[in-house]
C-alpha cells in the first residue's frame, strides 16, 4: 500500500509535500510500546500463557487463471488474552512499517497474521492488549473481549474508554464485516474503508486476510494469496465471506489485504505474497506467543 501511495504522490502536482508527510513519512507518537503498556496504571496488560492449539492447512481450488490458493489457521485458545497485538518497530504512530515476520520475531510469536494497517490512517478506535492508543471512531470495527466474545460494533456509537471498561482486549478497525450471524453481509462489494489513497482496491479479486469466529475462543484465520496468474488470482469480498462461512464461522471480518496479506508460523512465512514470496511492510500484527 505505501509503495503504491508514494508512486501516486510522486506523479502528483502541488500538495505532494503535504501528502508525502501525511501518508509516507514516519510519525512516531509512542516510541516504546512495551514500556508504555507496562506503565499503564490500573490497566492489566498481562496475557494468559497457556498453550493454544493451532492447525494450518493449505487449500487450492480451480485451475489455470482461476486458481485460488489460501491458508487456513484453525486456532483454539485456552484464554482470549493469548491473542495479542504488536506494532511495527515497537512504536505507535502513522506510516511506521515492518514485515509481519519481523514483528512476529521481535515479539517471540509462534503464529501471526498482518493486522488492520492502523498506521495508514488517523481514524478508528485502536485498543491493543487492553491499552487505548486511539479513540477516533469512524467505521465498523471488531472487538475482542477478555471473556472470548468477539463482536462487530459501530465505532461512532461508543468510546475506547467504555470498550475497555466493558472488557475489550483488542480492537481492529478496517473491515468490512463479511459474515454476521452466519450469513454473508449484503452490500460488502461496495464498502470503502475510508477515503485515503489505495482503499478502492478492496474491491475485486484481491489477496485477503480475514479473521472469523467459530465459537468462544475458537477462531479461524484465513490468508488468500492473489495477483499471481496460475498460482492464485485472489478473491472478492463475497468469495472471502463464502470461504469463512464454509469453515463454520458465524462472524468474519476483513483485514488489510494486497501485498500485506501474510501468515507466519513457527519461524517461517506460510503463504506466498503476490506469488513472489516477498513480504510488504505493515504497521501491526495479531499474534500468539510461542
Q: List, for residues 46-96, the tens digit of each pLDDT value.
A: 666 578 999 999 999 999 999 999 999 999 999 999 999 999 999 999 999
Q: Please state the domain count of the chain.
A: 1
pLDDT at 13: 57
At which residue does the C-alpha cell 503464529 appear? 111
Joined grid coordinates for residue 135 = 479513540
Average pLDDT over residues 216-226: 97
Closest CA to 99 of 248, 246, 235, 277: 277
Q: Report the greatest alpha carbon distance in the chain.
A: 56
Rg, C-alpha atoms of the chain: 18
Q: What is the DSSP letter of 99?
A: -
Q: Convert the pLDDT of each residue in 235-279 to its tens digit.
A: 999 999 999 999 999 999 999 999 999 999 999 999 999 999 899
Classified as helix, coil or strand, 236 is coil
pTM: 0.91
Q: What is the DSSP letter of 148?
A: S
Residue numbers of the domain that contains 278: 2-289
Classified as helix, coil or strand, 250 is coil
At which residue does the C-alpha cell 466474545 appear? 149
Q: Which DSSP string do the residues of 27-67 spell out, in sequence order?
A: EEEES-HHHHHHH-TT-------SPPEEEEEEEEES-GGG-
Amino acid at each position: 500500500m505505501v509503495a503504491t501511495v508514494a508512486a501516486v504522490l510522486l506523479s502528483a502536482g502541488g500538495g505532494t509535500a503535504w501528502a508525502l508527510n501525511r501518508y509516507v513519512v514516519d510519525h512516531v507518537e509512542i516510541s516504546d510500546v512495551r514500556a508504555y503498556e507496562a506503565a499503564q496504571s490500573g490497566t492489566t496488560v498481562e496475557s494468559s500463557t497457556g498453550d493454544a492449539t493451532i492447525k494450518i492447512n493449505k487449500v487450492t481450488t480451480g485451475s489455470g487463471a482461476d486458481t485460488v490458493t489460501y491458508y487456513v489457521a484453525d486456532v483454539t485458545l485456552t484464554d482470549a488474552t493469548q491473542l495479542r497485538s504488536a506494532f511495527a518497530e515497537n512504536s505507535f504512530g502513522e506510516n511506521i512499517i515492518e514485515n509481519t515476520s519481523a514483528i512476529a520475531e521481535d515479539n517471540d510469536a509462534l503464529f501471526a497474521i498482518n493486522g488492520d494497517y492502523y498506521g495508514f490512517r488517523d481514524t478508528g478506535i485502536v485498543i491493543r492488549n487492553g491499552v487505548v492508543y486511539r479513540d477516533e471512531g469512524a467505521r465498523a470495527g471488531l472487538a475482542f473481549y477478555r471473556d472470548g466474545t468477539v463482536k462487530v460494533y459501530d465505532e461512532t456509537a461508543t468510546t475506547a474508554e467504555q470498550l475497555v471498561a466493558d472488557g475489550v482486549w483488542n480492537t481492529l478497525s478496517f473491515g468490512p464485516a463479511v459474515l454476521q450471524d452466519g450469513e454473508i453481509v449484503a452490500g460488502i462489494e461496495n464498502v470503502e474503508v475510508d477515503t485515503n489513497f489505495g482503499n478502492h482496491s478492496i474491491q475485486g479479486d484481491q489477496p485477503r486476510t480475514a479473521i472469523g469466529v467459530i465459537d468462544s475462543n475458537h477462531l479461524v484465520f484465513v490468508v488468500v494469496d492473489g495477483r499471481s496468474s496460475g498460482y492464485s488470482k485472489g478473491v472478492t469480498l463475497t468469495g472471502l465471506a463464502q470461504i469463512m462461512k464454509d469453515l463454520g464461522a458465524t462472524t468474519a471480518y476483513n483485514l488489510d489485504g494486497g501485498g500485506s496479506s501474510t501468515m507466519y508460523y513457527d519461524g517461517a512465512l506460510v503463504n506466498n505474497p503476490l506469488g513472489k514470496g516477498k513480504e510488504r511492510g505493515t504497521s501491526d500484527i495479531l499474534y500468539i506467543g510461542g
